Chain A
Amino acid sequence: MNEKISSRQLYFFLACVAPVGKLVFLPTELAKYAKNDLLLPLLVQFALQAAAVFCVLLAARREQSFYDLVADMGGAFTAKVLSVLLALFLAFATLLPILEQKTFVQSVFYDTLPSILSFAPYFLFAAYVLTHPLPALGRIWDVLAPIFLVGMAGILILSFGACDFGALLPVGAAGAKGFGRGVMLASSWFFDAAVLLSLLGKFRYRRGMAWKGTLAYVAGGAIVLLFFAVFYAVFAETAMNQLFAFAKTSKYFAGITVLGRIDYLFIFALAIVMAYASVLPAQAGVSLLSDAFSHPKYLSLILGISLAVLYFILSLLLDYRFGQAVNLINGPLFWLFPLFSVLLPAATALVGRKA
């Protein structure tokens, strides 16, 4: 447990791993409500998250875990309650990325509808990741960051030829209603600061880390914004029908008729990053509980395996109810995301300053 995440690894996470989950369904969902203004709600969400990331990194100066930080200010009981609530939230937030991952793999990597079991090995992988301590992730982020950059660059380069950026005009066409609905809907994909809370105490604070980390997050956000612009420029009015966005934009590259679907190399690269990114929030939740209950033996193991089994069962139960699950998460329960991913990080920064 003495292993710490290095500052480089943390920046890689913020710039290259955190953005990947936003590239599957979010572009399509935003195009449905905000239409050609889809960049505006996204910009607002990134700005809010960047501020929240800055707050968490400020709190990181004390080099205490989330539990210790809250316990110093509000006592052990409050810290335990908050840790459990945050862990529950993170476990809940993991559901959407896992369902996205499942439908993505089943639709993009198969040319007919495969059996439900075909995605089952993912849950073995999830159990493996969930039972490992968070600091072990640092080394994985070192590997995933270049994979993400290569995958993203490849997809963007292959997509540019089919772009009509005029489709993003006129700005404001969706109106306040479309913008508001877009901001609300996008909330479910923005919980990076909440994940970062679980990493408190697991990396050493370096001078300037707060703004450097925020800058890394903003850089990742800029890549996502560019991808969304390309996505809408390729599909325009039909964008709301294009599920699995990052697997779609590059297929109109002129060379594909001669070379075949070479863009799959880049799609696979992003899918690998996505496999780790999708299970990360739950792993962060397990880590929080482990911190809160003083790392009892086998707790991580039991929680990790239980969560993997739970997600497997939920994925079976929600197999043909994906739309309903997304509507529930984005609709009546959307407020959970700003509560735990914006307000809680801001409050933690405040606690960090006073404690």
Chain B
Amino acid sequence: MKKFLKTLPSKLWILLFAAVIFTFFSNDFGLVDIQKTAIILAAGIDRTEQGFSVTAQIAVPDSSDRTKGGTSSVNIEAEGATVSDCISRIYSKTGWVPKLVFCNLIVMGEEAVKEDVVSYLNYFLRNEYMPDSCLLAVCAGTAHELLVSESAIDDSSSIAVTKLFSEEAKKSGKVLVTSLKDFAIGYYGVSESGYLPFVRMTEQVHAGEKKDETRPEEERRMIYSAEETAIFSHGRMVALLPREQTLAFSMLQGNVFAGTFNARDGDEPVTLSVLTNDGGVKLSFSRGPRVEFSLDLRVRLCCRGLAASMDDIAGDEVKGEILASAEEILSGYVRDLYETATESGCDLFHLRRDLYRSSLSRYAEWKEALPAAAVPSYRVRVHSTK
């Protein structure tokens, strides 16, 4: 015991020394100063004559108002020949070290997607400190305008836009979400195709209030929607799917739960809610390629456009007439979706990929002709809850 006590101070010194060394080498002494760090929440990319313009939405600490929640942000724009060049200029303009580790959204302006988007997305794909689970979106106008806009519902436009891409929104069938990783897999795969949500912003106008174009920019509050979907082939946007086709594509992917769509009961509109959604696209060969689109939905009546009796509201079963109308409407959506995709040259349903995986010899024979050469058939079934 005496010996132990005698050596105790030296042991404690060794422990202390080890702790200090450990802290030093784990870089705790050299942590990047938060005051000198730009935590980028979202990046907006536009094409310019010079090359690119990047708008970085940077989170800033806001200690002045403790009653206010959320995240304050500033937008810094820089132009350059490449995205990396732009990011470096943001650094030199502000003295803040740009960190992409929390970047959850990359928005591309309308003009920026007319040429191969991987020419600038590759910067993010190469960056080890950038999460490839980050979401991608295209927007109407420029990405700069979108990011600098004042959101009516959130402190930062990027956070408001990201909320459009929640799991719940995805289940509603109103929006299709793609991450950087998934888009890259589609681009580098044999289908060379993909899709991204298309964001539009509109000014929030209160009931009875008229839209005032003369109102100063900083007083305008915007709301965002992403019900349309931009589809891509070889990295270029080739068509825009309207909201109906976005819904049809979501249903074909089996994404929809509790989402709604409109059908007709005679001449009256009714809204149906989807309770189960099985969807699929199957490629087969019988005297040439054939593609079968199948949708199997179980629905219930959600709302009528007119006053209804209590019996009607309490009743669970949806009338056959409504179901037939729903089948017809959805078949039309799917048909339009397939036509839009094939006419634009986008292999949206990954028919080339499916063929490649199933038969290399058939793939060699048909890869150029697909998806246009495939003969489509549609099987849409809508059932009532009872």
**A: which residues have CB within 8 A of B?**
107, 110-112, 114-115, 117-121, 166, 169-170, 172-173, 235-238, 241, 243, 251-252, 254
Contact = CB atoms under 8 A, between A and B. Distances in A.
Interface of B: 21-22, 25-27, 30, 32, 97, 99, 101, 125-126, 128-129, 131-133, 167, 181, 184-185, 188-189, 356-360
B99 A237 contact: no
Contacts of A237: 184-185, 188-189
Contacts of A172: 360
B35 to A, nearest CB: 15
B360 A112 contact: no
Given A112-B129, A235-B181, A170 B21 contact: no
Nearest to B125: A241
Nearest to A254: B167
B25 A121 contact: yes
Contacts of B185: 235-238
B189 A121 contact: no
Contact of B357 (A110, A111, A170): A170
Contacts of B129: 111-112
Contacts of A236: 185, 189
Contacts of A117: 25
Contacts of B22: 121
A115 B359 contact: no
A243 B357 contact: no
A119 B25 CA distance: 7
A249 to B, nearest CB: 11
25 contacts: A111-B99, A111-B101, A111-B129, A114-B27, A114-B30, A115-B30, A117-B25, A118-B25, A118-B26, A119-B25, A121-B25, A169-B357, A173-B356, A173-B360, A235-B181, A236-B185, A236-B189, A237-B188, A238-B125, A238-B184, A243-B128, A251-B131, A251-B133, A252-B133, A252-B181
Given A121-B21, A170-B359, A238-B188, A110 B27 contact: yes
A120 B125 CA distance: 29
Contacts of A121: 21-22, 25
A106 to B, nearest CB: 10
Nearest to B361: A170
A254 B357 CA distance: 27
Nearest to A124: B21
Nearest to A168: B357
Contacts of A243: 128
Nearest to B131: A251
In the A-B complex, the 3 residue pairs with the smallest Cβ-Cβ separation, listed nearest first, are A237-B188, A169-B357, A111-B101
Nearest to A105: B26
A10 B225 CA distance: 61
Contacts of B356: 170, 173
A172 B361 CA distance: 12
Most buried by B among A110, A238, A254: A238
Nearest to A241: B125
A118 B27 contact: yes
Contacts of A115: 27, 30
Most buried by A among B22, B99, B181: B181
Contacts of B126: 241
Given A235-B181, A243-B128, 12 more contacts: A111-B99, A111-B101, A112-B99, A114-B27, A115-B27, A118-B26, A118-B27, A121-B25, A166-B357, A237-B188, A238-B188, A251-B131
Contact of B358 (A119, A169, A251): A169
A172 B360 CA distance: 9
Nearest to B132: A238
Contacts of A252: 133, 181
Nearest to B30: A115
A243 B126 CA distance: 10
A254 B128 CA distance: 21
Contacts of B131: 251
B128 A107 contact: yes
A253 to B, nearest CB: 10
B88 to A, nearest CB: 15
Nearest to A119: B25
B358 A170 contact: yes
A231 to B, nearest CB: 13
Contact of B97 (A110, A112, A173): A112
A111 B359 CA distance: 43
A107 B358 CA distance: 38
A59 B278 CA distance: 59
Contacts of A114: 27, 30
Contacts of A111: 99, 101, 129
A33 to B, nearest CB: 16
A238 B99 CA distance: 23
A295 B101 CA distance: 51
Nearest to B22: A121
Contacts of A235: 181, 185
A170 B30 CA distance: 49
Nearest to A114: B27
Nearest to A248: B132
Nearest to B21: A121
A112 B32 contact: yes
Contacts of B21: 121
Most buried by B among A110, A237, A243: A237
Contacts of A251: 131, 133
A111 B30 CA distance: 12
Nearest to A103: B128
A251 B180 CA distance: 14
Nearest to A109: B26
A238 B179 CA distance: 13
